[in-house]
Structure 1
Amino acid sequence: MNASKSLRSAMGPMAQLVVLFTFISLPACSDSPAGESPPAEVSIGGTVSGLDGTVTLQNNGADDLTVSSDGPFTFPLAIAAGETYSVTVQTQPTDQVCVVTDGSGTAQADVSTVSVVCTTNVTIGGTISGLTGGTVTLVNNGVDPLSTDMNGPFTFSASIPNGANYEVTVQTRPVGQTCLVTNGSGTATDDVTNVTVECEALMLGPLPEIYATGKAINYGAYRAGGPDAGEIPSDEDVLEDLGLMQSAGFNLVRLFGSNPVTEKVLRLADANFPDMRFQLGITLFGMLDDLCEVPENDQEIETAIRLASTYEDIVATISVGNETSFFSCFMPINCLELYIERTKEGVTQPVTADDDYTFYAGQNAVNGSRCGNQPDTILPLLDFVSIHAYPVSYFQAWDWKQEGVEAGPLRAAAMMEAALGHAQENYQAVYDYEYLDALGATVTVGESLPIVVGETGWKWRQTNSGLEIEDYAANPVNAKWYSDLLRTWERSPGGPPTIFVFVAFDETWKGIDDGWGFWDELRTPLYALCDTSVPDAPACNDPLYEGAGYYDPSP
């Protein structure tokens, strides 16, 4: 039987209408308690704790609410039930950071569970000692500079959030001093007061005796692709090179970079050529800002410090960077200062920074990647100055053609004497450059620091067709002639104590900057080594400089 049909048939029309009305009037199913309608609007609020000041909150990017004490809060504007809410901090209280939790969701009813917890920022500071009248500038996390000339406690003006990291470094050192930061980094969970900054006078190291007695040369061990190709010369190749240089009397060798190849050279020299001494190099790579954050540079310095300690008996000096003035737009002067200071703090040997003579003479022009950096803040950091002077490269700056002299041997001799004169003028320009020394006195470079010639040489063959002088004078005899002239200038009155000739062996991987070697890339000795004890040395001409090149445009 159909019960529904039976029920309708048992009712009269009026009763059926009542039943129908009753069904229509029943409420729909909902979350609201029986008999209650859902709210049309709901409020958003919660609790603030830890507040010491005033914080401004927002809901959904509006409805600003300023709170000045701990306790419950409710935004003045309600939102429609079922809409989303998002509580954020618009304005933090002074020296505090407030963090919102449970701050977003969909509001079906009044919300009172938003939590805003405020914590007080912490300050970073410590103690400075050893200042002797100069000013030191410190920074925290690279910002918030603090400059002072007073010893005693210091505190950075800007606080940082509780639980944040801090790192205190020296941005600018006082003149004539170096400052070392300890306890300078960490995570601040309370006010930090234990950072120490100890300043002391810069100590200049005297040049080792080998710089007054030795025969110096630049050396690169690469024979094929060079460092960019990842070349690692074999032990046998390096031992051959060291033996050849020793046979020519070279006992002071300049190395480039602190890397696995350099370490190999030092290891083999220490075991097999213990009387040889080395100037250890540090390669520096450029950067696009002045933050000095280049991992490759950090690695070079760390390796140099380790090698200088491991091979302290044969590492005589250290040079930081090589011709960085040529890319000074990418080597901010403050970064070069920092790298020199870090090196000096880690080694006991004297430290220099090899660069072109124009830098140390204050003639570094603005051109291309050269931004005109001056040496004034570098010089007080150095134990000695090492300059590069190349008459061939700067041939337009001196009278290399000597057209007033008869073409032939006399013109060749005049050219070579003028070449040496140009190098001597470069040296004198550096000698006469004035700067403020570590004590704040105005001095010249020459009266305050030893000056060595770190690179100079003459091409024995043409490799750069763009240099007119190479068309006429890139010649093995000219290369020997210039080398001989350098030896007469070295340790003469007013001359440099040491001249590092460039370079031991040709480096074909350098392309147009090749051709300077005393041996070619196959280790065949060239005319500069004639009639020496070097294996397979060529015989000298008679006259000695017969065959030298000179300017002669005639067909």
Structure 2
Amino acid sequence: MISWMSSMALQHGRRLAALLTAAVLSLVVAACGGGGYLDSPVSLTDRRALPAEFTSRTAAAYSPYRTALSEADLDGEVITYANVLQDLRLVQGAGVGVIRLFSSARFGELVLRVIRENGLDLKMQLGAYVYNPVDDAMEAQNQAELASLIDLSTRYSDIVLAVSVGNEAMVDFSFLQIPPAVMARYIKQVRDAVTQPVTTNDNWYFWATAPNAVLDVVDYAAVHTYPLLDTFYSPDTWDWRQRDVPADERADAMMDAAVQSAKNEIAAVRNYLDRIGLSTMPIVIGETGWTAIDYNGDPTLGFRASPVNQKMYYDRLAAWKAEPAGNKPPVQIFYFQSFDEQWKSSDDGWGLFTRDRKARCVVQDMNPPSADWVYDTSVSCDPATAVFFDPPTPTDPLADTVSRWVLFSDAPAATGDLIATDRSFNPFATTVAPLTSATAAPDGGSQSIAITANPQVWGWGFFQAGPAVNMTGFENGHVNLWIRTNGYPGRIEIGVWTDTEEREQAEAYIAIAAGDYGYCTNDQWCLVSIPVADFLAANPRLDLRYVTAGFVISDIFDRTGKAQGTSGLPLVYVDGMSWTR
């Protein structure tokens, strides 16, 4: 799976929602008939069958990375024989009999050697990870990867039962964006050189409208479906909230609906292939999964992500695969992922095992606990702990005697002040913001916060958040802060966040330049005071009953007009953040 929860992928969220809607409409049109398929030597006349050893076993994706903390670290990680052997024994102990490798050149031979030399009863779908060949160097890199795939598939043909070229590279919202004609050339190149069935792995939306160029040269469809990710980007893709279901039944209802969504997406692919004359082309779910941990911090993901819900999804997938052939289930399902991948940061947590190789709820019962089979006991596996949607309940509004909600100040409290508690400051990415005694606002005590932006390519930010506070009664008030900076360029943003009835975080930002709302950039302390009404106007979805972040400061470059990758920004000091009636 490409890291779809990364900042790059988040840019595609709105587009994904639109594409999903368009896909549903296209299925309606397709049902009306029309179209057709031109005979090809592969798909109709020379298709290679998937062997029973491939379709009858439990399958999961596998990647051996352990220590890398980011994508930039991957090439530097030393992947050892001993670690791979430990991993594969754990995978085999979890009942998995087929693994999927995404690429060949980096570690394909090491994994295959470990399987062969230790007599492990594991088979494989071996992949080649290719990029859009925008120049000769990239084409050479792709050719080296394809050559490795061909070589390993030939020398380890007793283990490699199927082959895949490319991963999520052609669906419209992929950042890889390999043209289908180029991918077809790569697939044919590999297929002409190996004896195994060959495919390409891609999102269901691609397969539901796959072009002949690709269909001509594949033996089976390897389709990705991620109901959880669908709702991450477009919360109403399917009804995960299940509001009409009693709370004690809501988790089961949600997971049933999740699998039904996956079934609908696979059915869209099946219907398309049937309609164009490829009714016998097998469908393999090349990837699907359910995250056990909300590393992303998304306001709604915590109502879906848990180890128990992961097990519920996994068990339902197994039941689906076992359905009679007449129901047209997928012939194989590759579960994503065998182990957590910390290099994916906020997109981590999909593993059957944690990053430290502890078995999660989904596979714990496969073996009793031992030195080699360690349970993850950090969370309960009791089915009663499954998460589900729980609408917010507002606390009482702040008392009428509270005239100022103080978010940060070390000055003595005044009459009418309520000092915020249970709140913490957090950065966007690598922003640094320690306390300093070097300067403080005129009425802010002896310390302030010194923000060093350390911007990412898209910008930077810093916020204070905590449990929702009911700020009803402050609609006509102000959000205030003292700020000092020496020549900060252009605009900067002040924001607030709230929860909502749908548990979808609402955010509002006011971009200010020198002279707006009292803001200055002349290395003097100035008091910025923004009417709460201006935030409500900026985003009417804000719900003051559920204020989660009463203070946010940021500079997201595409919103403030700066160039992507802007750097060298000056220090920004803030102090005395508060709300007043």
TM score, norm. by length of structure 2: 0.55
The alignment status of 1:400 with 2:240, answered yes or no, reads: yes
Q: 1:522 to 1:541 in 2, by over 3 A?
A: closer
The alignment status of 1:546 with 2:384, answered yes or no, reads: yes
Trace 1:502-541 onto structure 2 (pairs within 5 A).
502-533=336-367, 535-537=373-375
2:295 match: secondary structure: coil
1:294 match: secondary structure: helix
The alignment status of 1:360 with 2:193, answered yes or no, reads: no
Q: Give the drift of 1:504.
A: 0.5
User: 1:376 aligned to 212, 220, 225, which one?
Assistant: 212
In the aligned structure 2, how far is the partner of 1:510 from the partner of 1:478? 21
User: 1:443 aligned to 263, 272, 276, which one?
Assistant: 276
Trace 1:136-535 onto structure 2 (pairs within 5 A).
176-177=40-41, 203-225=46-68, 228-229=72-73, 230=75, 231-288=77-134, 294-325=139-170, 326-327=173-174, 330-362=177-209, 374-395=210-231, 396=235, 397-407=237-247, 409-434=248-273, 443-445=276-278, 447-466=279-298, 468-493=299-324, 494-533=328-367, 535=373
Q: Give the drift of 1:273.
A: 3.3
CA contact (8 A) 1:504 1:519 kept: yes
Q: Give the drift of 1:211.
A: 2.8
Q: Give the drift of 1:239.
A: 0.4
**AA in 2 matched with 1:548:** A
1:269-296, CA deviations, whole angstroms, 9 ceiling, x for partnerless residues? Answer: 111134210000100112338x997111
**AA in 2 matched with 1:323:** E
Q: Give the drift of 1:349.
A: 0.5
Q: Give the drift of 1:302.
A: 0.5
**AA in 1 matched with 2:253:** A
In the aligned structure 2, how far is the partner of 1:220 from the partner of 1:390? 19
With CA pairs under 8 Å and 6+ residues apart, which has the higher RCO, 1 or 2? 2
CA contact (8 A) 1:286 1:327 kept: no
Q: 1:343 to 1:529 in 2, by over 3 A?
A: same
**AA in 2 matched with 1:343:** V
Q: 1:354 to 1:424 in 2, by over 3 A?
A: same
Gaps of 5+ in 2: 1-37, 394-581
Greater percentage in strand: 1
2:107 match: secondary structure: helix
**AA in 1 matched with 2:48:** G
Q: Give the drift of 1:518.
A: 0.7
CA contact (8 A) 1:287 1:330 kept: no
Q: 1:544 to 1:489 in 2, by over 3 A?
A: farther
Q: 1:554 to 1:269 in 2, by over 3 A?
A: same
In the aligned structure 2, how far is the partner of 1:201 from the partner of 1:520? 43
In the aligned structure 2, how far is the partner of 1:538 from the partner of 1:489? 27
CA contact (8 A) 1:220 1:504 kept: yes
**AA in 1 matched with 2:90:** L
Q: Give the drift of 1:520.
A: 0.6
Q: 1:510 to 1:351 in 2, by over 3 A?
A: same
**AA in 2 matched with 1:388:** H
1:523-544, CA deviations, whole angstroms, 9 ceiling, x for partnerless residues? Answer: 0111112322161236999995
**AA in 2 matched with 1:462:** D
CA contact (8 A) 1:491 1:498 kept: no
1:348 match: secondary structure: coil
CA contact (8 A) 1:258 1:282 kept: yes
Q: 1:421 to 1:444 in 2, by over 3 A?
A: farther
Q: Give the drift of 1:204.
A: 1.0
**AA in 2 matched with 1:394:** D
In the aligned structure 1, how far is the partner of 2:111 from the partner of 2:72? 18
Q: 1:533 to 1:394 in 2, by over 3 A?
A: same
Q: 1:329 to 1:283 in 2, by over 3 A?
A: closer
Task: Choose 1 or 2 for highest CA Rg.
Answer: 1
Q: Give the drift of 1:444.
A: 4.7
Q: 1:206 to 1:177 in 2, by over 3 A?
A: closer
Q: 1:519 to 1:334 in 2, by over 3 A?
A: same
Q: Give the drift of 1:213.
A: 1.4
1:524 match: secondary structure: coil
In the aligned structure 1, how far is the partner of 2:175 from the partner of 2:355? 31
**AA in 1 matched with 2:341:** E
Of all paired residues, the percent bearing the same amino acid is: 34
CA RMSD of aligned residues (A): 2.6
How many pairs does the alignment contain?
340
CA contact (8 A) 2:63 2:101 kept: yes
TM score, norm. by length of structure 1: 0.58
1:93-151, CA deviations, whole angstroms, 9 ceiling, x for partnerless residues? Answer: xxxxxxxxxxxxxxxxxxxxxxxxxxxxxxxxxxxxxxxxxxxxxxxxxxxxxxxxxxx
Q: 1:434 to 1:243 in 2, by over 3 A?
A: closer
In the aligned structure 2, how far is the partner of 1:337 from the partner of 1:310? 24
**AA in 1 matched with 2:82:** E
**AA in 2 matched with 1:508:** Q
Q: 1:539 to 1:463 in 2, by over 3 A?
A: closer
1:339 match: secondary structure: helix
CA contact (8 A) 1:530 1:539 kept: no
In the aligned structure 1, how far is the partner of 2:60 from the partner of 2:282? 18
In the aligned structure 2, how far is the partner of 1:496 from the partner of 1:377? 23
2:216 match: secondary structure: helix
**AA in 2 matched with 1:344:** R
1:302-350, CA deviations, whole angstroms, 9 ceiling, x for partnerless residues? Answer: 1100001111110110011000124377411111010000000110011
Q: 1:246 to 1:293 in 2, by over 3 A?
A: closer
1:223-271, CA deviations, whole angstroms, 9 ceiling, x for partnerless residues? Answer: 0217642123111100000110111111100011011312100111111
Q: 1:360 to 1:345 in 2, by over 3 A?
A: same
Q: 1:542 to 1:434 in 2, by over 3 A?
A: closer
CA contact (8 A) 1:217 1:253 kept: yes
Residue in 2 aligned with 1:94?
Answer: none
Q: 1:509 to 1:540 in 2, by over 3 A?
A: closer
**AA in 1 matched with 2:54:** Y
CA contact (8 A) 2:309 2:386 kept: yes
In the aligned structure 2, how far is the partner of 1:523 from the partner of 1:543? 17
In the aligned structure 2, how far is the partner of 1:543 from the partner of 1:253? 25
